Structure 1
């Protein structure tokens, strides 16, 4: 249940009913169908302007042929706010209608948080719509980098938010186990294998191949296990054997690394199945039937310029091998046409920005709805240490991988910091701040709020004071108490907004704000939880218990621990 949604519905209904009364009185006359424009409700930044506000009077002024303030006054003269949370309505500025609420909504929000507990914040907004969220999908040819690390958190937290908002969510990793990168992986392994047995001069290692030490390690381990028998095989057979050995190891390392990062997937989808099951061919046939393909220079092309792209794209090369783009179309067709997802969300790096329009267009070309494919674009991360860009691992002196990062700062800090800014914002990740044990570190600040509340509750228990679900909440009248309660009330609404906008960073900022409000409450001398007034003590215990519940619920969404002690 979302109490703020209930209040918005009450306001919309009150305005709509007032306008209907005025139309019956022939004071208002809308368009020929009698339609009223959508009534928008927002939360004013300045509390002096009420708890909620609407600009409806300004939107309909041309329809009713009166100025906005006159229109607003007519609405208020005929509005019925009986049996609602609305206490009073006022006109402000050029014609805004501001709504001030009874305190009951705050008390009911606290009661709801207590009643729902771990489920508080969840809504049925998504109505069970099936959504597949694909994220990370790193090439299984080497370790994960910082882009994978940020994308992993964004995709995982977004998936968790969508689940809380009532969607049926599938988390998916697309394994690129076919195509050009696997071919390059094979050549890289083969060269290192031969070099390990016959010396570095035995074969030239192309600068285009994978240069990492992990390739050398695979070759070394293969030799230790199977010897030099592959030297007698032809190149194709040798490369296949090496890939068949190393690729599963890399995939298992990906799975383990992501589990260490607190990310588990519902589906690991291999690209190779699209080839084996004939789905790539089926997809190309569907594109040909659409009339949006043509042949040129022995290759099959997609008329991508027909749906706004800068240039047409190759689907099948001259050698008959499909491009990555062609296989990607087949993969997304599988999501919609085969597995019947209602919506697909992909988390992509900024370098894939140009791929968005052509993929949506390709979906439309094969009879699917490109608008059901949503792309979350993620900007680059810059790691900072001692005020300078950090490119090397402190442990190994080499490129910083996801496992290096977790080892240096911990999973919680990594997940919190990567989700602190909107995905389309560049992120400077301060490694020193991430390990600081003080209030400057945002994840420490939030976790400490949770631990501090746990300590207060335990201390009260030792003094014989326990939670009372019948506490008199009307004694919570201090501004700090009301601000905290209002923030608690906003959680379900925040989750819905995050889900609607595919912006998981918003929930991180929300819990930071909540922690800040709690610390302000705690540090205010007039807001001591334990005091001489027993009723006030019980009410404040009720309040901080709700704060603790909400912090825990949000940290669960973020995949971050909520410690009882720090």
Structure 2
């Protein structure tokens, strides 16, 4: 019996109790589904639910009284071996061995689809992450968002949502001008401006701009007037830098559905249209020669200038236009992932959301990610050989590989700062979490190979009642919990939950492997015990593979 099947059984029990008057609830008060989860302590049963606590007030009875009614009926459900009422009204449910073991076949037959769910079905989500300025290589903070953002997108999709991964291309503003001036100066053999960008990559790009012009038979950019030369280095330099960022992300297994250019908002008139919309809604006023957005009435700490007194739009004007554009493209939810230095940005963004008549925290969500520190030989890794002042995606991937980099960045809550020990992540030991999980998967594959060599075939027999060892009960309970973990990770925007789940599953599998043999030993004859355990082995392999895929990490067959 799967958790979904148990949930359906609970729903049926509740519905029948309402229908025959044993529970005084209106039909509309019966939830569409009843949530079940694993108890914290294994001895409390296989699954638990708090549905009696949720519905007792509406039913007009104490929670334990309602729980008693449901427990009595649930005990007669096929596959349920025991139901206990605990605490204020929890139902602790134990399944008989055969019903619990049947899950192994369910997982294997579902294959890659196991764990997928429909909790977010019908939602259209625009997920914006990374969005690094195209003025230098992707730094370690952006790499964290690449790993977390792409993993989150996979989990949202696995939960039924329609997701667009979006990269906001910051190609408008002062930082791009400083980048262009830096390239031009270095191309002339001069130092970059004091407020410009440094590092070997500036020289590399400047040289490439000159080489590309020569190859195309174009005038030498250095022979052009100052404004024209700077424009050549700006347009071509940004193009080259962004191509490098896109390639680095692709190699990191992160690709975007939309690359949105900030400059297009200003060229298309989208900024003016957004301001006009807010003016119609009564949130815009003029003072001191500037145009303001009245955000203090919407939760912000002060009103915001959107057009300065010189007629130039302030930075927030682009945000207004960009948010409106996303909503007009049909997205129900806009999720933006920002670095720790943007924490003060939340108030104005939520006020902007409210100004358009939307609900902050629903139509607009902002996730803040904390800093990442790289450590090698016990010392912080402070800068890149190529970028000069930052640690880049290439530094991390070059040190530990894509799998370890993605997994280690996604396995911690984004609201906590993390230290990544590069020495640890490069080791093939159980202390390395990604190795620990990947090794468990490789071990399941190896068990399957050995079983095939010795004539153990799943299709020749399956008796779930034979999965009666405590390690098998623990493993089955974890396998059954996978779908709930995926749904919760998607709903809470916390992909690290899947990584931590996989580590727990790997640990349970290793313990089972140490105590239960899939292949015959010595003169043993192959029987249903071996075949049934192979089903459990292969079910674990499938869930490990599915979970690693949600994190964008490979599931190796040999290590």
| Counterpart-to-counterpart distance in 2, 1:214 and 1:161 | 35
Q: For 1:42 and 1:485, how far apart are their aligned partners in 2?
A: 13
- Return the alpha-carbon distance in structure 2 between the equivalents of residues 470 and 297 of structure 1: 82
Number of aligned residue pairs = 550
Counterpart for residue 213 of structure 1: 200
Q: How does 1:446-461 map to 2 (within 5 A)?
A: 446-461=437-452
Query: TM-score, normalised to structure 2's length?
Result: 0.90
Match of 1:552 in 2: 545
Structure 1 alignment gaps of length 5 or more: none
Give distance in 2, aligned partners of 1:469 and 1:360.
60
1:392 matched to which residue of 2? Answer: 383
> Which residue of the partner structure matches residue 149 of structure 1?
143
Match in the other structure for 2:8: 9
> C-alpha deviations, 1:513-541, integer Å up to 9, x for none?
111111111112x4454343521111111
Distance 1:452 1:290, change over 3 A: same
Q: CA deviation at 1:89?
A: 1.9
Are 2:201 and 2:387, in contact at CA under 8 Å, matched by a contact in 1?
no
> Residue 349 of structure 2 corresponds to which residue in structure 1?
359
Contact preservation (8 Å) 1:37, 1:60: no
Whole-angstrom distance in 1 between the partners of 2:3 and 2:460: 22
1:73 alignment partner in structure 2: 68
- Determine the C-alpha separation between the residues in 1 that align with 2:54 and 2:452: 55
Partner SS for 1:88 = strand
Instruction: Give yes or no for contact 1:72–1:97 (8 Å, CA) kept in 2.
Output: yes
Identify if the C-alpha distance between structure 1 residues 400 and 37 changes in structure 2 by more than 3 Å, giving closer, same or farther.
closer
2:536 aligned with 1:537: no
Is residue 479 of structure 1 aligned with residue 470 of structure 2?
Answer: yes
SS in 2 for 1:549: helix
Q: Is 1:46 equivalent to 2:45 in the alignment?
A: no
**Cα RMSD for the two superposed structures:** 2.8
More off after superposition, 440-449 vs 386-395: 386-395
Deviation at 1:71, TM superposition (A): 5.0
After TM superposition, give the deviation of residue 18 of structure 1 in Å: 3.2
SS of structure 1 residue aligned to 2:92 = strand
Distance 1:546 1:280 in 2: 53
User: Which residue of 2 is the match for residue 185 of structure 1?
Assistant: 179
1:91 pairs, out of 80, 85, 88, with 85
- Tell me the residue number matched to 2:228: 237
Q: Distance in 1 between matches of 2:381 and 2:533?
A: 45
Q: Larger deviation: 353-362 or 534-543? A: 353-362
CA contact (8 A) 2:412 2:496 kept: yes
Q: 1:236 to 1:84 in 2, by over 3 A?
A: farther
**Does 2:435 align with 1:444?**
yes
Cα deviation per residue 1:249-297 (whole Å; 9 max; x = unaligned)?
0111011100111111111111122222221111111122222122233
Per the alignment, do residues 528 and 470 of structure 1 end up closer, same or farther by CA in structure 2, a change over 3 Å counting? closer
Native 8 Å contact 1:487 1:514 kept in 2 = yes
In the alignment, does 2:557 pair up with 1:564?
Answer: yes
Q: Which residue of 2 aligns with 1:421?
A: 412
Secondary structure of the residue aligned to 1:354 is helix
The CA deviation at 1:394 is 7.6
- Report the CA distance shift for 1:247/1:475 in structure 2 as closer, same or farther (over 3 A): same
Deviations along 1:336-363, one digit per CA (max 9) or x if unpaired, are 11x1112222221122222223223212
**Range with bigger deviation, 134-143 or 358-367:** 358-367
**Aligned partners of 2:36, 2:350: CA distance in 1, in Å?**
32
Whole-Å separation in 2 of the counterparts to 1:413 and 1:402: 13
Instruction: Report the alpha carbon displacement of residue 215 of structure 1 after superposing the two structures with TM.
Output: 2.3
Deviation by residue 1:408-446 (Cα, 9 ceiling, x = unmatched): 110000001001111112111111110011111111111
Note the alpha carbon deviations across 1:355-402, whole angstroms, 9 max, x for none: 223223212312444421222221111112222222134899864210
Deviates more, 1:463-472 or 1:544-553: 463-472
Structure-1-length-normalised TM-score: 0.89
Contact 1:450 1:562 in 2 (8 A): yes
Q: Supply the distance in 2 between the matched residues of 1:219 and 1:395 (Cα, whole angstroms).
A: 14
* SS of alignment partner, residue 486 of structure 2: helix
How far apart in 1 are the matches of 2:99 and 2:491?
A: 24
Instruction: Please give the secondary structure, in 1, of the residue aligned with 2:338.
Output: strand
Q: Match of 1:101? A: 95
Query: Is the CA contact 2:200–2:388 (under 8 Å) kept in the aligned structure 1?
Result: no
**Cross-structure match for 2:514:** 523
